Amino acid sequence: MRLFLEIFYNIPGLVKYLIYALFIFIFLIYSFLNLSPVFGASPNARSKSAIEDSENFVNGRFQNIESDYDNSSSFSNSSENGSTIMSFLSPPEGKNPLTAIPTLKFQGDSLTAGKFVWLGHSTLLMNTAGLIVMTDPVFNRASPLPIFGKPYAYENPIRIDDLPKINVVTISHDHYDHLDSAAIKDLAEIVDRFYVPLGVKAHLEKWGVDANKISELDWHDSENYKNVEFTLTPAQHFSGRAPGKGNSTLWGSWIISSEQVKVYFSGDGGYSETFKALGEQYGPFDIAFIENGAYNAQWSEVHMFPTETVQASIDLKAKVLFPIHWSKFDLSIHPWDEPIIRTSKEAAEKNVNVASPMIGEVFDLSYLPKNPWWEALRK
């Protein structure tokens, strides 16, 4: 130790200050990663017990049914749909919209019984059996850092203050583009009930949600709330908000069922035989909200390509396919509107009924908007 101090004191002044600055920088990064509330929290003893009892929790991590996907390889080199860092630094033409995305101004009182509205990406509202249900509320950046994850510009941005009274919120998993800590803080006092996968409850409690308002579910668990059944079902994906905590929380899809309608919401996930199993066990569905964006060959196991989105809707026995997980964030290297263009083409070939309303447009199953509104941005 004495030798170290002697060496340190003999270091030239400028170098010494650079060492000081490096240590301070490392300390700040460490403090941010360990103390910032945006990363959520670890489960308490009761949640840990439920997690450890889950058949999907093996060797300290949740696992998929069919895949051992390792998200640490997402940026490896690839000649197909190149997902290298250079591809992000030199994006293809049309990767992001050049002007604000056309959207309708949403009026909360227009969401009457039996109606739906898409707010962009994977956030949507539905009114069924007297309940207003919201999925994966994200209204801010899809990142823990203020320099990343900025949403696209909308002509009519939709804010939490524009929403009607929300009765139930469902969360599919804890990634930043599906679980927005700032939005949860705003919703904490005004939402009656939150349904989340195992391990996610701790995050919501950290952000101000009363523990008594949160239900944590494992795959195929169901809970009835005021005559609406909420069932968490499998998806082929992964989880994690903080370094070193990958797959410590569960992920999944949701089935929301009432006497009036049966809805499937995919969250995130790669294509697998799970969709056929869900279709046989729970289908048919009146409408299926299925991800179709942010795909790439390097993470095809956990994000579907548009052709797979269409096939998943067929497997689920869905009467209507509603593509989600696009048109809000820049999360891959394909052009921003490619997901809906490819999905629409595949659906037409497979005779699949696709709904394509504008963001903010209220609709019901008796009238399905089929407006190619994205084409206006290509002119």
At 152-194, the pLDDT tens digits run 999 999 999 999 999 999 999 999 999 999 999 999 999 999 9
Q: Is residue 64 part of a domain?
A: no
Q: Is residue 326 part of a domain?
A: yes
Q: Is residue 266 part of a domain?
A: yes
| pLDDT bracket for residue 145 (50, 70, 90) | confident
Lookup result for tokens 């101000």: 208
Q: Is residue 246 part of a domain?
A: yes
Are 221 and 234 contacting, i.e. CB atoms less than 8 angstroms apart?
A: no
Q: Residue 31, CB half-sphere, CA atoms under 13 Å: how many? A: 6
- Residue 140, helix vs strand vs coil: coil
What average pLDDT score do residues 5-13 get? 53
| pLDDT bracket for residue 35 (50, 70, 90) | very low
**Which pLDDT tens digit goes with each residue over 258-314?**
999 999 999 999 999 999 999 999 999 999 999 999 999 989 999 999 999 999 999
Q: Is residue 123 part of a domain?
A: yes
Alpha-carbon distances, residue 365 vs 86, 240, 256, 321 (angstroms) = 43, 35, 15, 11
pLDDT of residue 30: 42
Q: Which helix (H) or strand (E) holds 35?
A: helix 13-35
pLDDT of residue 244: 80
Does the structure show a pLDDT above 60 at 199? yes
Does the structure show a pLDDT above 80 at 9? no
Residue 212 burial (CB < 10 Å; 0-12/13-18/19+)?
exposed
Q: Residue 204, CB half-sphere, CA atoms under 13 Å: how many? A: 33
DSSP symbols for 60-113: TEE--SS----GGGTTS--SSS--SHHHHHSPPTTSS-SSPBPBPPP-GGG--T
CA nearest to 361, candidates 138, 78, 104, 131: 104
Can you give the CATH number for the domain in which 158 is found? 3.60.15.10
DSSP state at residue 149: -
**Which pLDDT tens digit goes with each residue over 93-143?**
789 999 999 999 999 999 999 999 999 999 999 999 999 999 999 999 999
Q: Is residue 17 part of a domain?
A: no
| pLDDT bracket for residue 148 (50, 70, 90) | confident
pLDDT of residue 147: 83
Q: Measure the CA–CA gap between 209 and 337, rounded to whole angstroms.
A: 36
Q: What is the pTM of this model?
A: 0.89
**How many domains does the chain divide into?**
1
Q: Is residue 304 part of a domain?
A: yes
Does the structure show a pLDDT above 60 at 1? no
pLDDT of residue 70: 53
Domain hosting 320: range is 108-378
**Which pLDDT tens digit goes with each residue over 301-353?**
999 999 999 999 999 999 999 999 999 999 999 999 999 999 999 999 999 99
* R_g (Cα) of the chain, nearest Å: 22
Does the structure show a pLDDT above 60 at 208? yes
- CB < 8 Å & 24+ apart, contacts of 93-97: 93/335, 94/335, 94/336, 94/337, 94/378, 95/330, 95/333, 95/334, 95/335, 95/336, 96/152, 96/330, 96/336, 97/152, 97/153, 97/336, 97/337, 97/377
What average pLDDT score do residues 343-371 get? 96
Q: Is residue 94 part of a domain?
A: no
